[in-house]
Structure 1
């Protein structure tokens, strides 16, 4: 079968190529550039732990070596410290690099403003992230990168797609599917005649990357109303995020309009901000890079047209109030890759499976855009939030901090509870700490070879995951319990599923009773939780997850 054609060699396109390769699916990446990225220290990304873990799985490298996890988050109004969260492992000693403990030890305390706790996000320069992805692809036999290859024609037929790149490397490419990861001005989207409505210049930020010392080493900072800048509804809001080697990215919210940000104006902002944080004295600093970041909010009408798909900035743009566009692009990859992998390896109609990509991901991004659009005039105008934005009753600082930390209506990952892939309700389903369709919690599990691994490490291989919650198994060798109790019956049920699945065992999972069985999608979203071993119900749920019809019975697997 022909490879998948991926148009665009940014983080989303390269990640998709690696995600497909993990499922033994070949791809061709059409890179309109020379195959390397401009080093821009002021162009950085913030990844919540889920997407940071995805990047580490795909690159095979601990990204903590290249980026920095915040040791804390500080929200300030004028000189008053509103909150401080310190991310510390059990025992109280802060860890850096790749040596984090289990999921619970990475959770921060919940503060008195009600800002949700969670693992520390990863802050990393985008060119460093892209470089790690390119390095991983260099050794990947299933990925071909075609440089200086700009798409200019796309044709589809029932059996595949054909793409043409223009000179200097004019070539015809044949593929099974095509995914446009080619950014806001997507050629793929234009060739598919897909509208891209939304709002232009929702926010503007002046950005600087500099090496200096700040009073809050390793902590991200949101200063909403600095006393030295009180003009305008925002009061000159400034955000500081740490990077390795003493480098900081600073963002200043600019007033609406198109006023030119001159080098002199930006240097003046740097000096007054640093002086404000250092009791009036400007410390030494080394200015590395500057820029102006303009935030647009747009959402493509369709994300799929036949065998062609959109992902990342080609499908959506967001970024106001702490939301992160690349984070959502990588979730697109996680959602689409296993569906393309399943279709590539198995002939047959996959309309329900493919349509679910648009339905699930577009709804998730639309929810974040709606939350930001609702909150934006209220936050910037200083009006009350309680009656307007769900989850915002504790105030402006809590809502904004949650957005930056990846929680709440502005920052939380999307759930797929209403997906067309959700199985029909059954009496065997039981409630657990994770709602169906939501991402699962990263607990320690025992793999089939008896090794202890993180649940998240088993994702992204194209297989379903079946997790039995069995307290006490962690203290015994696998050989002592693998053939005891309900394990043989569950193992037989997993083997009989309509798609490859891996059986794992966890000592505990939030909100579950002993002998609960969790069925998890390859992208880490919970399908269902069953009370005990129910082969027929497990089979039905798996069948629905793969886009097949929901079956009331699976007689061949009911034993």
Structure 2
């Protein structure tokens, strides 16, 4: 069978190719560039805990090699009062050291845990993903290959690239991960409406010692001259920080001299005087909010910046693009190995576009109050404080602009049944990363078993951790549950955990390959478990498409 063609070799395209390859799907990655990324310390990525864990599973060693930071956020208010916002179970006074310590303890029990956002240079993330791709036999990375045409038929796609090795490529599907000016999107004639220049920021990367080692800082309304409306600082590695200043949406150009003045004023405002620093990189970037009308056209898909642009008020475009890759990866892998229904393939757009649209709405609704000044902010200070918290939550990976998305209304959600049980994770949301034991006796974190193309069936069985596995594998409900799992309509793995938040003993959880909860059951219910698993794969695969059906519409486009 033909490989999947991924257009674009940025972090999203590389991550998608690894998602597919780890599930046994061959991939061709078409890279318009020469396969090298210019180091830009001021261009960085913030990864939420779930996407950081995804990068680790895919073999991106950069997360360790570059000393990527676990960062809490400190918010400096007008009177210089400090309030630390933190995540998870970090100690009240622990800061970054507290979260890193928790990570180290959990790693000994089954793999890396990222309790708060990770911040690292984007070129380092890309390099780590390229290294992982180079180690994988199923991924072929082709450089200096610019796409200029795309054709679809009932059984696959054909694309043409120009460059030194201009040629035609045949694939089962094609995914455009080729950025905001996506050629794939243009060839598919998909509209990309939205707002231009939502926000502008000046940015600088510098090596300096600040009063908050290892912690990110968000300073609203700094009082010093030239401080602007908002400034943030994020720690990188080797004593390097990234500083961002919010600029007027349509202001004058920021000269190098003006940016250096901002650096000095800010460092003096924070430290009392200007400490020694080494300016490494600077820039000005403009944020746009756009959302593609369609993310799927037949056998062609869009992901990352080709499908959406966002980034204001703490939302993270790259982070969302990596979630696109995780969501689409298991669905295309299922289609490649087993065939897929239109419902399964359409669910990518239904889930991911809806989630990103919700992020954009939350940001747009908050921009007027946060950035407008006066108005509601003058007369309703409580509302303003609430939006300040919303802004900080976006940076922290919490709330409507930062928390991992849930898909409660997904086309893959099973209809409600009386056998369904309630746990602390709602249907469609990511499951908690609890410790689990596999039938081979290996104890790992639940996230470590994701991304392998299999659903997970998790039995909550208190006390099994102290039993000899030779006993509990053949005791109680295990034999009946193992038989039910073996009979499911798509591959699944049976796991056992001592406890799960809100679940009673002998509860059974069905989890998608990307870690979202399908359903929970009060006990072993083979028929209901089968029905839920069938819904989660979108029903039985359909027959080979014809040109008259959505999956087989013939579409030919060219760029001359």
Tell me, yes or no, whether TM beats 0.5: yes
Q: Is the 8 A contact 2:90 2:102 kept in 1?
A: no
Q: Which residue of 1 aligns with 2:267?
A: 274
Q: CA deviation at 1:160?
A: 0.6
Pair 1:515 & 2:502 matched:
no
Output the CA distance in 2 between the equivalents of 1:223 and 1:89.
22
Cα shift readout 1:89-130 (whole Å, capped 9, x = no counterpart)? 679663649953349x9xxxxxxxxxxxx9211001000000
Out of 192, 198, 202, the residue aligned to residue 202 of structure 1 is: 198
* Aligned counterpart, 1:68: 68
Deviation at 1:86, TM superposition (A): 5.5
TM alignment of 1:425-504, pairs within 5 A: 425-504=416-495
Q: Does 1:256 find its partner at 2:214?
A: no
1:67 CA displacement = 4.1
- The residue aligned with 1:45 is 45
Pairing 1:121-136 to 2, within 5 Å after superposition = 121-136=117-132
**Which secondary structure does the structure 2 equivalent of 1:41 belong to?**
coil
Q: SS in structure 2 opposite 1:264?
A: helix
| Structure-1 residue corresponding to 2:141 | 145
Identify the residue that residue 358 of structure 1 maps to in structure 2: 349
Determine if contact 1:497/1:542 at 8 Å carries over to the other structure. yes
**Match of residue 167 from structure 2:** 171
Q: Distance in 1 between matches of 2:126 and 2:162?
A: 24
Q: 1:226 matched to which residue of 2? A: 222
1:286 aligned partner: 278
| Aligned CA distance change for structure 1 residues 60 and 225 (closer, same or farther; 3 Å) | closer
Further displaced range: 42-51 or 470-479: 470-479
Task: Indicate the residue corresponding to 1:10 in structure 2.
Answer: 10
Q: Whose RCO is larger (CA < 8 A, sep 6+)? A: 2
Q: Secondary structure at the match of 2:53?
A: helix
**1:20 corresponding residue in structure 2:** 20
Counterpart-to-counterpart distance in 2, 1:486 and 1:97 = 38
Task: Say which SS state the counterpart of residue 100 (structure 1) adopts.
Answer: helix
Q: Does 1:312 align with 2:304?
A: yes
- Partners of 2:103 and 2:115 within 8 A in 1: no
How many angstroms apart in 2 are the aligned matches of 1:332 and 1:411? Answer: 15
Farther-moved stretch of structure 1 (87-96 vs 453-462): 87-96
What's the offset of the Cα at 1:396? 3.0
Q: Does 1:101 align with 2:92?
A: no
Q: CA deviation at 1:393?
A: 8.4
CA offsets 1:361-399 (integer angstroms, 9 cap, x no match):
0000000000000000111124548x99xx978623311
Does the CA-based 8 Å contact 1:311-1:333 persist in structure 2?
yes
Question: Does structure 1 retain, via aligned residues, the 8 Å contact 2:60–2:125?
Answer: no
- Taking the aligned partners of 1:384 and 1:400, their CA distance within structure 2 comes to 17
Given that residues 50 and 404 in structure 2 are in contact (C-alpha distance below 8 angstroms), is that contact kept between their aligned partners in structure 1? no
After superposition, the C-alpha distances for 1:421-446 in whole angstroms (9 at most, x for unaligned) are 11111000011100100011100001
Q: Is the 2:507–2:521 Cα contact (8 Å) retained in structure 1?
A: yes
Q: How far off its partner does 1:200 sit?
A: 0.4
Deviations 1:178-208 (A, max 9, x none): 0000000000000000000000010000000
Give the length in aligned residue pairs.
Answer: 530
Provide the C-alpha distance between the structure 2 equivalents of 1:502 and 1:346, rounded to a whole number of angstroms: 17
Provide the secondary structure at the position in 2 that maps to 1:474: helix
Cα distance, 1:549 vs structure 2: 6.3
Indicate yes or no: 2:396 matched with 1:405. Answer: yes
Taking a change above 3 Å as real, the CA distance of residues 306 and 248 of structure 1, as seen in their structure-2 partners, is: same
Q: Match of 2:105, SS?
A: coil
On the 8 A contact 2:99/2:115 being kept in 1, the answer is no
| SS of residue paired to 1:418 | coil
List aligned pairs for 1:410-429, cutoff 5 A.
410-429=401-420
1:217 aligns with 2:230: no
Shift of 1:79: 3.9
- Alpha carbons 2:38, 2:123 under 8 Å: kept: yes
Query: How much has 1:72 moved relative to structure 2?
Result: 2.9
User: Equivalent residue for 2:551?
Assistant: none
Q: Using a 3 Å threshold, how does the CA distance of structure 1 residues 306 and 102 change in structure 2: closer, same or farther?
A: same
TM-score normalised by L of structure 1: 0.91
Number of the residue aligned with 1:367 = 358
Q: Deviations over 1:329-381 (max 9, x none)?
A: 0110110001100110123x521111000000000000000000000011112
Rate the CA distance shift 1:366–1:346 in 2: closer, same or farther, 3 A: same
Question: What is the alpha-carbon distance in structure 1 between the residues aligned to residue 508 and residue 284 of structure 2?
Answer: 50
1:516 touches 1:532 (CA, 8 Å); kept in 2?
yes
Structure 1 unpaired stretches of 5+: 106-117, 551-559
Q: Does structure 1 residue 55 correspond to structure 2 residue 55?
A: yes
Note the aligned Cα RMSD (angstroms): 2.3
Deviation at 1:142, TM superposition (A): 0.3
In 1, distance between residues paired with 2:383 and 2:440?
46
Q: Secondary structure at the match of 2:482?
A: helix
Query: In the aligned structure 2, how far is the partner of 1:403 from the partner of 1:534?
Result: 39
Out of 526, 539, 543, the position equivalent to 2:517 is 526
Deviations 1:481-500 (A, max 9, x none): 11110011001000110111
2:284 and 2:60 map into 1 onto residues whose CA distance is 33
Q: Which one of the candidate residues 148, 152, 155 is aligned to 1:156?
A: 152
SS at match of 2:424: coil
Gap runs ≥5 in structure 2:
542-560
User: SS where residue 216 of structure 2 aligns?
Assistant: strand
Other-structure match for 1:115: none
